[in-house]
Structure formats: structure tokens, C-alpha cells
Amino acid sequence: MQLALFIIFGALAVLGALNLLFQRHPINSALSLVVVMISLAVLYWSLGAEFLAAAQVIVYSGAIMVFFVFVIMLLNAGEEERTHGSRAAYIVGIPGAGAIFSLLAFVFLSESHALGSSSIGGYLNHVTSNISEISTVLFTKLLLPFEVTSVLILVAILGAVVLARKEQ
Amino acid sequence: MIATQVPNSAYLILAAILFSIGVGAFLIKRNLITIFMSIELMLNAVNLTFVTFAHMWHQVSGQIFVFFVMVVAAAEAAVGLAIIIAIFRTRQTLNVDQIDLMKS
Amino acid sequence: MSHLTQFQTFLLLSILKVVVVLVITLTAVAYTVLLERKVLGRIQNRWGPTRTGPFGLLQPLADGIKLFLKEELIPLASEKPLFIIAPIIALACSLISISVVPFGQVTRVDGVDLFQIADLNIGLLVILGITSIGVYGIALSGWSSNNKFALLGSLRATSQMISYELALGLSLVGVVLRAQSLSLRDIVNSQSAHGMRSWNVFGGFQFVAFFIYLMAAYAETNRAPFDLPEAESELVAGYHTEYSSMKFAMFFMAEYANMLTVSCVATLLFLGGPSSPLGHLLPDDFGGPVLAAIFPVLWFVAKVLGFLLLYIWVRGTVPRFRYDQLMSFGWKFLLPVAMANILITSLVLALRG
């Protein structure tokens, strides 16, 4: 089960990310990012983080990406054009990204044994639930950071309203 | 049920792939909104490593990190897109090569 | 089924459940349309469809055949892939969320629960998540058809759905606080102690949340009195102006399937789901095991039907809101009231211990 879920949704995530890279129109990129996010939600779930899976779908693909799509629709953004800046970015970007990937992959593969492996646990069929565990930690030990983030969101909302408002 | 195991390093490598694609897209893309989206992709890749490590060590602190990352990403998206709308209103373009207000 | 392994039985029964639930839901969607036309007709002092079959009962079939046989029109200037995928997203999202709804009491055959496709411990969040994905269908349909009415309709619908999702989600928090679980089965079980008196609307003192949910749900499904996205006097037909034939039918079905889902969730969360309003007045094994399994399902269907009738009644009675009224109603009235409800509920629960 775990392997099947990993292969299907891992492949879906990578394909979505590549599609984001190759599509010229921003709305296609946004939709492929939604695919990546939903498949990551399934992977979170298979890793026993069901609350995060739901939060990923609701917050990321349901709120943030809808907002992106909304802005693309509102600004009627067209296809992007290739410029001389993008040629320079190709020369630097692809080897750079490749180098980052090679480094990370090397580290993970050489430590592969120490990292161990995971199989599907009881969390898919209701045996264990980590929601209460998360909320206990969040509302006792990390109460202050939690409250600070709520202030941060408030500031962000005000900032967004001020920035996006039309000048009179 | 068939019990199959997936090495944790596979999850981490998947995260690495997504992260590098995000880096590549960030550098190659010329549209402001798409660049912003590739930042979100990188954040998501990092979240996957957090969840994998949380699963590995049987601790919830990694998941709480992801929770905070999501909240901050939401705030960031709100402000960032507002800035993009403001830029579009003054410059009528989303191409990053033409948004060099500070330079000219 | 002794020669099958446990996994195979699970798989077979699950597929069977999915098929049966899908067929029943689609039939229910078709007949909800007929019910709406009939009841709305009576409200407006006319008959509604009567010609096709006895009492017009074959009308959904005739509508379906008509829509199937019509020509598919795709505007030349549209974004073709998105134009095609948008109704699919809308319909799929509205149908998927029914999979976590428990229709009856737990009845296990070979370890598989018959009346619920999947009992997830985050069932409520799954429904909210899938509803929020459904916004894409509407957003994309308006944008890809390259029509100003469609675009305006979809912009309206998207902002309306995002705004009311907040009030909708917050109104459910009180229920979750009382049940201490996000699993729909646990939420139902928390209300099944004393029949009607322990339902969340009455005994749980969640009636404020119930009314917030009701109004937010009307806006969420783009139904009257909040049907501005398809206000025909202003926007022709809103986001599905350019759609014809089966693609239009998919949007149509998605709207009614969303109505069904929303009614199911309201039933589960506030009206005790499949539990009987009489509580334990009747003995639990009344009429043998088969009848005892079927009675809860009948209660569930009756409650959902009540909600659907309420939907139709509201549509026949209340005039359409203006757009700024809609937005200020959602943000300035429903949201603060929902938050106050959460505050009071959690205070009461904390004081009670």
C-alpha cells in the first residue's frame, strides 16, 4: 500500500512540478502546482500526518492557490515571453538546480540505512490519531508562537488590503 | 493487506527533486506570479522533509513546523499577491525583466 | 466468501459500495431537480412538469436524453483543455465528498461497514477540503470560456465561495468541540444518546451555529437567495454561459450534488445523522436485524429530504441579494457571530469540566 501510494503520488508530484516549469501560461502552472500539492497531501497522509494532509488541501490548494488563480484571472496575465534575461537564467539555473539535487540526493542515499524505512501504520484505518497530540503540543508548549502567528496573519491581511487598494 | 515498505530516503529524494525543480523554475521563469509559485513549490518540498522526519522519529514537532510554515505561507501569499497587483497597476506588466523600477 | 482473502473481500465490497452510492446519488440528484421544479411550481401556483410519465416522474430521464443528444459547442477563442476540464472538476468534487458520509448505524459484513464508504478520522476536514477544491471548477469555467459574463460570474462565485467558506468552517467548530473528534461517525455518536434532545441543534445549544451553517451553505452552493453568480437578469447565465450539452449538465448536476452533500453534512452535524429522533423509545433490535439496519437509513433520508425542501422553499420565497450586501453579510455578520459562538461554546465546555 505504502509503496503504491508513494509511486503513484510521487510520480504525480514530480510530473506536476515539471509541468509547472514547462508551461508558458501562468494559469497552467498554477493548476499543476495544485496537482503537486494534492499529491503531497496524500503522501503526508501515508506518513501518518492526516491533520496536515487535510490542512494542506484546505489551506494550500483550497485557499492560497485559489487566490493565485484569482489574481491571474483578475490581471488577465498572458503567456510569458522569452527574453535575454531568461537565456542567462537557463545557463545558470539548470546546472545550479542539478547541483543542489545531486548534493541532496548524495547525502540522502549515503545515509539511506540510518534513515530507515516506513510502512503504513494504523492511521489509515482509524486506530491512531495524531490530531489530539498535535493540538496538545500546539496549545500548551507552543502557545506563544501560535498567538504570534495569529498576529502575523492579522498584519498580513492589513498589509494586503493597504497594498491592493486603489489610490483615491 | 500487502505490507510493503518504502525507505525514508525515497521521500527525502522526492522532496529534493521537487525542491530543485522549484529552484530551476524560480530562476528560469519570467512571470512574476509563476516565480512566486515556484517559491511555494520549494516550501512544499521542505514541508515533505519535515513530515518525513516527524514520521521517522515518531514526534509531532516536525508536523507542527509544517503547520507554522503553512500559516506563514498563507500570510506571505496574501502580501505577495497584493504587491504583485500593485506592481501591475503601475507598470502594466508582469515580466520581471521590465520591472526594474529601482534601476532606471 | 470463504475462498477470498480478507483484502479481496474488502476490495470487492468497497467497489460495490462505491458503485451503489454513486448510482443512488446520481438518481437522487436527478429527482431533486424534479422535486424542485414540482415544489417551485406549486409555490408559484402552477403545476410543474406533469406530461412525461405519471405525475411527470420520467421528466429527469427526458432531460437527460435531451442533454445527451444536444450538440457540444466549444467557443473558438476558449482555452480548450481548461474549458473541458472545468465541469469535470466541479462534478467530481461534488460527488467525492459523499464518500465519507455515514448513512446508517455501523453494520458490519465481513468487517466492512455497509453504510459508509470510508470512515476517516478527519472526515469533516475531508469534506471541507474537497468543497474548497470545487471552487476551481467554477473559477476555470468562467475564465476559460473567454466571455465577459462568464468571467464576471466566475469571479463573483469564487469570491463568494471563499468568503463564505470561512463562516461555514467556523460554524462547525462548535460541533467539533462538543464531539471532541473530526470523524463524522464520532460526531453522530455524540448526539445519539437521548434522541432529539441530544441533537446539536437542540440539546447541544448549537442553533446559532446551525443557522450560520445554513446561510453559509446556501451561499456555498450558489443557491437562491445568494445565486448572484448565475443571476440571469444581470449575467445571462453566469459562469456556465458558454457551456452546452453534457458539459452544462455536469455543472447542473454538480450544483444539485453539492446541495445533497451540504444537506447530508447538516444532518450529520446538527440533526444527529441516522439516529432516530425518538431516541430509545423503540427497542434497538426492533423488527429483526435487517429492519434495525434499515430504519436509521430511512431517518437519514427523511432528514436530508427535509433540508432539500427547505432549500427549495427558500428559493421560492426570498429575493436575490445585492452583491455588496452579500459580501458584508458574510464578513460583517456571519463571521463575527460564528466566532462568538465558538467562544461561548468553548467557555461553557471548559466550565463544565
The residues in C 48-87 lying below 8 A from A, measured between CB atoms, are 79, 82
Query: In chain C, which residue's Cα lies nearest the Cα of A42?
Result: C126
Q: Region C102-129: what's the mean pLDDT?
A: 78
User: pTM for the complete prediction?
Assistant: 0.86
pLDDT on residue A39: 92
Yes or no: domain A1-81 corresponds to CATH 1.20.120.1200: yes
Q: Which helix (H) or strand (E) holds C59?
A: helix C59-69
Instruction: Output the nine-digit C-alpha cell for C187.
Output: 460526531
Asked if B56 contacts A116 with a C-beta cutoff of 8 angstroms, the reply is yes
Does residue B102 lie within any of the structural domains?
no
Burial group, residue C319, by CB count within 10 angstroms (0-12, 13-18, 19+): exposed
Q: Give the cell for residue A75.
A: 490581471
Cell numbers given for B59: 514526534
ipTM comes to 0.86
pLDDT, greater one: C56 or C31: C31
Q: How confident is the model at residue A36 (pLDDT cuts 50, 70, 90)?
A: very high
State how far the Cα of A151 lies from the Cα of A143, in Å rounded to an integer. Answer: 13
What is the distance in angstroms between the Cα of A122 and the nearest Cα belonging to chain B? Answer: 12
Which residue out of A23, A74, A82, A101 would a mutagenesis test of the B interface target, given it has the greatest number of B Cβ atoms within 10 Å?
Answer: A101
* Rounded distance between C-alpha atoms, residue C330 and residue C110, angstroms: 47
Residue A153 C-alpha, separation from nearest chain C C-alpha, in angstroms: 15
A119–B14 CB contact, under 8 Å = no
Specify if B45 maps to a domain.
yes
Q: What is the CATH number of the domain that holds B37?
A: 1.10.287.3510
Residues of C in contact with A55 (CB under 8 A): 125
In this prediction, the residues of chain B whose per-residue pLDDT falls under 50 are 1-2
Going from N- to C-terminal start, the domains of chain A cover 1-81, 83-128, 130-168
B99-102 LR contacts (CB < 8 Å, sep 24+): B99/B32
**Predicted local distance difference test score (pLDDT) of residue C284:** 64
Is pLDDT of C269 > 50? yes
Domain ranges of chain C: 76-352
For an interface test with B, the pick among A2, A12, A44, A168 (most B C-beta atoms closer than 10 Å) comes out as A44
The alpha carbon of residue A69 is apart from the nearest alpha carbon of chain B, in Å, by 10
- C-alpha cell of residue B83: 504587491
- The tens digit of pLDDT for each residue in C284-335 reads 666 677 777 777 888 888 888 988 888 888 888 888 888 888 888 888 888 8
Residue, of C178 and C281, whose pLDDT is higher: C178
From C295, C291, C260, select the one nearest C274 (Cα to Cα). C295
Distance from CA of B2 to the nearest CA of C (A): 9
SS3 C115: coil
* B95 DSSP 8-state letter: B
